[in-house]
Structure 1
Amino acid sequence: MDSGSLKIYHVHGYDSRQYLENYFSDKKEMVFGDDSLKFPLENFTKMFTVGHINGDVLIDLSVSSFVHHLYSACEFFQHIIVLKANDRCIMELKRWLNARTGAFEWGHATKLHGEIEGNSDQFQDKEGKVRSTVPHVMKCDLEKENMTDPIDLPPADCIISVLLLDSICKDQDDYRRYLRKFSKILKPGGHLMLIGCLEMTYYTVEKDKFHGFTYDEDFARKALAGEGFVIDYSKVQKRTNVSNLTDYKAMIFIAAHKEK
């Protein structure tokens, strides 16, 4: 596929609601549940509860408007600052955070998280906890050295990034450059947790195909080490679903910390 014909997430934007319907909903035809819902929930739960990762400020730099990746984090951090590159993603997320009519329904993911944690009867409390822990959803410019210019963010104890690097990086140098940006807003000793799709070239939203940065586990590990991160845990899950909406081969979760 000609990469020049593909759109790019932070340049062209997309319908965030349709993206959620395609890859995160509870519709019968949504085949990505094991990868997009269960895989993040299991690994974030493990790292926060067993890895003892906690602190004051967590910065979330992820694509679209999903919230389930914050279900565990909200129990271990005082404040979660969410940065988004696209206005439509911000609008969709704020609709859920403000519990507005027509917001995307996350009950299926919340229930799954409860089952993983062993607290399936407290899913409404979990959604309320996330809403109370996210004080700010901010527009960011991913191309600026200070992505939130003119605002300077407080140094983060932890950064979560789900599928963002896959969607915005053109090549390996780009991937390293963004890791460097992440490092600059992370405290020494702070944690970085990434979720990505391995060997992906595209994903689809409505009728449009979007660029996917193609990389493997070995590159991701070497890139993190090269930018001063120590990997604490990693997990790769091979893709089992069948769909022509996207062509990734596996999911990867990496938890690392910034060397002091």
Structure 2
Amino acid sequence: MDPCLKLHYPSHEANVKMLLQEYFYQNAPYSFYKESTMNMLRCFYKVFSSGLISGKTLIDISLGPIIVHLLSVCEFVEEISILKCNDASITELELWRNKDPEAFDWTHTSKLFMELKEANRDGWQDAEEMLRRKMIHIVKCDFSKTNPTNPFALPRADCVTCIWALEVISRDHEEYRIILRKMSNLLKLGGHLLIYTDINASYFMIGQDKYHLLTCDDDFFRKAITEEGFAIVQYDNIEREALTDRLDHEKKAFIVACKVMET
């Protein structure tokens, strides 16, 4: 395959096991692991533990079978529904939920999370079990449909989390807004949307395959989110530390927005 060709996820199936190994495995370069895992753990745990966000239900819409942020927040919600655009991600999540030995090993991340909480590191297994219990639904979704989870019906949630999904799925800025609107429809009025994303990125690599990322800057994110009926309550930039050609981002952003109106 031409390494210059950008593939579109999820139209082109990705090797999700390789995605996890290259971006979230403990043996990845420290600066890269810090960006993809440590900073994400801190951002989500800090905002939920502060009491800023409340509610019982959470819908997650993220790239691949990532659970980093869900480990951070599961103690603060009662039910988690996970939407995935491809079958491979669903299969991997179900393997982990069922403790299948073929599942990706998140032990190092779970132990890191316990250290972040300043809790007993040995409690990592309890943290994982809590998340498994609260993963109520793992559902296929398609954002080209009016109802992305059709025929499955999900009640509106108190919180929606999104890790790198919008920029991966969207081919242009107009489609980004359309998909953001559909995500908003999954959220209660007064609920919160949390986005962890890259600024001014255009691609990411999985193995030798180069995948499309929609290039977005801070101004675009702020404008798109507010124009779709949200009030931004927190917007943090996280400077790039990883020197890698696997992802061409300038920096990262962690955004918390409250849904204040229907659009």
* TM-score with structure 1 setting the length: 0.95
Shift of 1:6: 0.9
Shift of 1:63: 0.8
Whole-Å Cα distance in 2 between the matches of residues 244 and 230 of structure 1? 34
| Residue of structure 2 equivalent to 1:255 | 256
Render the CA deviation track for 1:21-53: whole Å, top value 9, x for unaligned.
Answer: 111101144751111101111110111010342
Whole-Å Cα distance in 2 between the matches of residues 41 and 28 of structure 1? 17
Matches within 5 A, 1:103-252: 103-121=103-121, 122-252=123-253
Whole-Å Cα distance in 2 between the matches of residues 12 and 239 of structure 1? 28
Contact kept? 2:83, 2:141, Cα under 8 Å? yes
Contact kept? 2:4, 2:210, Cα under 8 Å? no
| Residue of structure 2 equivalent to 1:65 | 65
**SS of alignment partner, residue 243 of structure 1:** coil
- The AA in structure 2 aligned to 1:66 is I
| Residue of structure 2 equivalent to 1:81 | 81
Give the stretch that moved more between structures: 135-144 or 80-89. 135-144
Whole-Å Cα distance in 1 between the matches of residues 103 and 3 of structure 2? 33
Contact kept? 1:112, 1:120, Cα under 8 Å? no
Q: Report sequence identity in percent.
A: 37
Structure 1 moving runs of 4+ over 6 Å: none
Contact kept? 1:22, 1:30, Cα under 8 Å? no
Render the CA deviation track for 1:127-180: whole Å, top value 9, x for unaligned.
Answer: 010000001111111211100111221011100000001211111111211111
Give the stretch that moved more between structures: 152-161 or 119-128. 119-128
Compared CA separation, residues 30 and 10, structure 1 to 2 (3 A): farther
Shift of 1:5: 2.7
Shift of 1:4: 9.1
Whole-Å Cα distance in 2 between the matches of residues 28 and 89 of structure 1? 21
Contact kept? 1:24, 1:30, Cα under 8 Å? no
Whole-Å Cα distance in 1 between the matches of residues 219 and 260 of structure 2? 20
Render the CA deviation track for 1:178-231: whole Å, top value 9, x for unaligned.
Answer: 111111111000100001111111111122110011011111011111111011
Render the CA deviation track for 1:61-81: whole Å, top value 9, x for unaligned.
Answer: 001011111013211111100
Contact kept? 1:192, 1:256, Cα under 8 Å? yes
Number of residue-to-residue matches in the alignment: 259
Contact kept? 2:78, 2:134, Cα under 8 Å? yes
Whole-Å Cα distance in 2 between the matches of residues 28 and 140 of structure 1? 30
Shift of 1:54: 2.5
Contact kept? 1:3, 1:211, Cα under 8 Å? no
Whole-Å Cα distance in 2 between the matches of residues 231 and 28 of structure 1? 33
**SS of alignment partner, residue 237 of structure 1:** strand
Structure 2 unmatched runs, 5+: none
Compared CA separation, residues 60 and 28, structure 1 to 2 (3 A): closer
Compared CA separation, residues 69 and 93, structure 1 to 2 (3 A): same
* TM-score with structure 2 setting the length: 0.94
